[in-house]
Structure 1
Amino acid sequence: MGCCDAPGLMPIEEAMPIILKNTPVVTETETLAIEDAIGRVLAHDVSSPLNVPPFDNSAMDGYAVRIADLNRSLTMPLVGKSFAGAPFNNEWPTDSCVRIMTGAQIPEGCDAVIMQEDVTADGESITFNVELGSVKPQQHIRPTGDDIKTGQLALEKGTRLSARDLPMLASLGVATVDVFRKPIVAVFSTGDELKPVGTELQAGEIYDSNRYGMRPLFDKFGCEVIDLGIIPDNEELLHQAFEKAKSVADVVVTSGGVSVGEADYTKDILEQQGEISFWKLAIKPGKPFAFGSLGDALFCGLPGNPVSAFVTSYVLVQPLIAKLSGESQWKEAPSISAISKSAFKKRPGRADYQRAIFSVNQDGQLEVESTGNQSSGAFRSMSLANCFAILERERGHVEIGETVQIQPFSSVMY
């Protein structure tokens, strides 16, 4: 048996397909004004109802000409102007030109625009400082539908709308979109030792920090979060919390109670009320991660240690939420190679997500160094980090100068 085949420790690459296979996509939809749809996931394809641009327009400030006229004379009179929103609609005599601004509609018959830097103006007499035959048909003209054509697919179903998408929808005249409803995530922390921030700690107590990492992560991922607070290590209270959570949520996410301590009831209650697909992964930090179902809700039991809870939320729960939301284009942040500036301690057996800081040195080379303390309870090292150094299951210690794979934090962590 290899180091990675320890009983009960499932590799992430085996766990993730199980999670996604058992995760449905929400089916309910709602219609929103585009200004309210940022971060939401499209429930239907959006095709363009018009051409963009809707007319041939100038790509430059300059002069609209007919090449045939230009080939007869490089000096001609100015007979009018075409501005954005105020096109030239007058009769256009032969052997004359029209002043035109960027974005303005091309006058009928125009087949080129000469930019103003290539022109000498003497009152209403315009001389073009170009060589005969050098002006090409459609020069500096943006044709109708150059960006997108009527009926062309603009955005696919399953797209999570970003600040880049909304202006594009507005340019098409699309005022509303159909989106999937927000997934509902119920979260709570478990443990007698946990106390709310703002209260005074007694002997043996610590502040509950995990929900302050989970909730914004899910908020920024477009979920409706129901925060059930802190549940003590009391079997009856935990039963009640689970019953309430599974009745209102698509996903129940807890932290704590999935280890092997005498007061870790979460796993036991899950076995009574639901079903466990797996428990304990070959990941560090975050080995005691449980996944299963509670009635119609999914369940993710995160470890109680703050860094473990955050890492498993980011690595394992985030893809689940993406699929549940209907997002079809979600991809894990890419891993890239970097040279280690510091040693990384590691034992073979589990994939290790170590907190690290990447930078670019004066030679343009990507480097990475540890944030220091990698204890699963040391959250300051997460706050200092801007990436994970992902060390493979079978890998041991990493020395200075070795190549490691890093994963810069995605925008949901900022």
Structure 2
Amino acid sequence: MSVCDQGALHSIEQAISALKSTLKRQTATQSLALSAAHQHILARSVYAQVDVPQWDNSAMDGYALRANDLQPPVNSLPLAGRIAAGDKPEQSLPAGQCMHILTGAPVPLGADTVVAQENCNISPKQIQFNSCKAGSNIRRRGEEIEQGQLLLEAGTRLRAQEIGLLASQGFAEVEVYTPLRIGLISSGNELCELGQPLKPGQIYDINSHSLSALFTGLGFTVTHYPKMPDDLQHNIDSLAQASREQDVLISSGGVSVGEEDHLKNAVSALGQLNLWRVAIQPGKPLAFGSVSDTPWIGLPGNPAAALITALIIARPALLHAQGASNCDHQTLHIPAAFDWEKPRARQQYLHARLALQDNGQLHVEIHPKQSSAMLSAASWADGLVEIKPQETVEKDDLVGFVGYAGLLG
């Protein structure tokens, strides 16, 4: 009996684990300008080149002084000069005096305190201090980062904050894993290209564009192939060509049980079909395997199902193959603003968003339409509610919420 004839549903965790085993871990690397490295995966651990800050500097605009110079009844000091950000850090503070200092400026030698200017009465030559806490308002050398310490580990996905951190160390280039090449293929006679008038029985090709945006945003290199009609030989020819050009193939549609769903048969003819039924709703008809030596993932044809299975199952496996060390999504537990009375055999993902109650507390509400064919609910939502198999929900129960920001960013 082939896997396509087996009735058992595989868990989401099993599907992700099996996908990780199927996908080839990326080993090719490249050196990229830091300005081009956003969303890439760091291939080598990076260590700090310099201390941050590189010298003691002022945390605010104010006056640098020695705290011991302010001893009752003395509460004022003569002004010795001014230091701005960018000035050399070798200046010395004369004994018994203070210096005007701006935010980020190096603290003069001998000073141990900066008093904020709003706590001072200022005259051209004398500064009166209304309060002074010894050691305050100074950022110490190496306070944030010390030279030689581990800055970022290999496998880190470079978001805007990691790019900034690398810039703080002067890295103009960084070594990253070469992005996986993903070939996207949509399947079905009913699909119409954008910009063309719809013929009777046709719909526009949604999945190629939503999935392309998703995987490009995650840092992969995406190629969009022409749609495959419902013809076995055409499926075989299209898949064979794409497999020679890409690292991973991802298709949508053609993996269900319909008479015209030829894609799984084409995959079997060229390679291996490993799995095609997963305990997830929406998205049960999900498959993966290989076309020749190229891994293949078959997503459902319904747009919402394709998006959710791509986010929950394909995304962590692909990021793992790309070299990322942390691929799991974060689930928050937030009170429900809804009832979900009917338990289901599959784990459900519902389009949802966060909202404030009258008492100022967060709760999560769901869209009234949860069809696997509807993307309007996904556009309304800012995340997904997870409902475990055989689970029901009453209002105010804690439910799992997965934000789109963590899945897409």
Do these two structures clear the TM 0.5 threshold for a shared fold by scoring above it?
yes
Once the two structures are TM-superposed, the CA of residue 399 in structure 1 deviates from its matched residue by: 5.1
Is structure 2 residue 375 aligned with structure 1 residue 386? no
Deviation string 1:64-100 (CA, Å, 9 cap, x unpaired) is 2223433384333222221111247566432222221
How has the CA–CA distance of structure 1 residues 93 and 394 changed in structure 2, closer, same or farther, with 3 Å as cutoff?
A: closer
Is structure 2 residue 342 aligned with structure 1 residue 353? no
Instruction: Name the aligned partner's letter for residue 376 of structure 1.
Output: S
> In the alignment, which of 359, 362, 383 is matched to residue 363 of structure 1?
359
Report the counterpart of residue 95 of structure 2 in structure 1: 94
How has the CA–CA distance of structure 1 residues 362 and 234 changed in structure 2, closer, same or farther, with 3 Å as cutoff?
A: same
Any gaps of 5 or more consecutive residues in structure 2?
A: 1-5
C-alpha distance in 2 between matches for 1:65 and 1:140: 11
Is structure 2 residue 77 aligned with structure 1 residue 76? yes
| 1:217-228 equivalences in 2 (<5 Å) | 217-228=214-225
Once the two structures are TM-superposed, the CA of residue 319 in structure 1 deviates from its matched residue by: 0.7
C-alpha distance in 2 between matches for 1:340 and 1:127: 57
How has the CA–CA distance of structure 1 residues 59 and 181 changed in structure 2, closer, same or farther, with 3 Å as cutoff?
A: same
Report the counterpart of residue 26 of structure 2 in structure 1: 26
| 1:79-228 equivalences in 2 (<5 Å) | 79-87=80-88, 92-130=93-131, 135-136=133-134, 138-228=135-225
Give the TM-score normalised by structure 2.
0.91
2:51 counterpart SS class = coil
Instruction: Name the aligned partner's letter for residue 106 of structure 1.
Output: V
Deviation string 1:338-358 (CA, Å, 9 cap, x unpaired) is 2233x4464521111122333
Preserved contact between residue 236 and residue 267 of structure 2 (Cα < 8 Å):
no
Moved more, 96-105 or 403-412: 403-412
Once the two structures are TM-superposed, the CA of residue 124 in structure 1 deviates from its matched residue by: 0.9
Preserved contact between residue 87 and residue 107 of structure 1 (Cα < 8 Å):
no
Preserved contact between residue 30 and residue 178 of structure 2 (Cα < 8 Å):
yes
Once the two structures are TM-superposed, the CA of residue 174 in structure 1 deviates from its matched residue by: 1.2
Instruction: Name the aligned partner's letter for residue 23 of structure 2.
Output: T
Instruction: Name the aligned partner's letter for residue 313 of structure 1.
Output: A
Once the two structures are TM-superposed, the CA of residue 207 in structure 1 deviates from its matched residue by: 1.9
1:323 counterpart SS class = helix
Counting aligned pairs with the same residue, the percent is: 34
Moved more, 186-195 or 20-29: 20-29
Preserved contact between residue 24 and residue 323 of structure 1 (Cα < 8 Å):
no
Report the counterpart of residue 63 of structure 1 in structure 2: 63
How has the CA–CA distance of structure 1 residues 20 and 144 changed in structure 2, closer, same or farther, with 3 Å as cutoff?
A: same
Is structure 2 residue 399 aligned with structure 1 residue 404? yes
Any gaps of 5 or more consecutive residues in structure 1?
A: 1-5
Is structure 2 residue 9 aligned with structure 1 residue 9? yes
Is structure 2 residue 338 aligned with structure 1 residue 309? no
Report the counterpart of residue 373 of structure 2 in structure 1: 377
Preserved contact between residue 195 and residue 208 of structure 1 (Cα < 8 Å):
yes
Preserved contact between residue 77 and residue 96 of structure 1 (Cα < 8 Å):
yes
1:252 counterpart SS class = strand
Preserved contact between residue 16 and residue 314 of structure 2 (Cα < 8 Å):
no
C-alpha distance in 1 between matches for 2:186 and 2:250: 9
Report the counterpart of residue 3 of structure 1 in structure 2: none
Preserved contact between residue 337 and residue 366 of structure 1 (Cα < 8 Å):
yes
Preserved contact between residue 329 and residue 402 of structure 2 (Cα < 8 Å):
no
1:108 counterpart SS class = coil
C-alpha distance in 2 between matches for 1:399 and 1:280: 29
Report the counterpart of residue 257 of structure 2 in structure 1: 260
Moved more, 42-51 or 364-373: 364-373
How has the CA–CA distance of structure 1 residues 277 and 63 changed in structure 2, closer, same or farther, with 3 Å as cutoff?
A: same
Preserved contact between residue 48 and residue 145 of structure 2 (Cα < 8 Å):
yes
The alignment of Structure 1 onto Structure 2 pairs a total of residues equal to 403
| 1:319-334 equivalences in 2 (<5 Å) | 319-334=316-331
Report the aligned-residue RMSD.
2.2
Moved more, 99-108 or 69-78: 69-78
Once the two structures are TM-superposed, the CA of residue 125 in structure 1 deviates from its matched residue by: 2.1
Instruction: Name the aligned partner's letter for residue 359 of structure 1.
Output: A
Moved more, 32-41 or 322-331: 322-331
Preserved contact between residue 333 and residue 410 of structure 1 (Cα < 8 Å):
no
How has the CA–CA distance of structure 1 residues 242 and 128 changed in structure 2, closer, same or farther, with 3 Å as cutoff?
A: same
Deviation string 1:166-202 (CA, Å, 9 cap, x unpaired) is 2222221111101111111001111112111222222
C-alpha distance in 2 between matches for 1:321 and 1:12: 15
Is structure 2 residue 66 aligned with structure 1 residue 47? no
Report the counterpart of residue 35 of structure 2 in structure 1: 35
Deviation string 1:198-236 (CA, Å, 9 cap, x unpaired) is 222223222221112111010101011111121101112
Instruction: Name the aligned partner's letter for residue 404 of structure 2.
Output: F
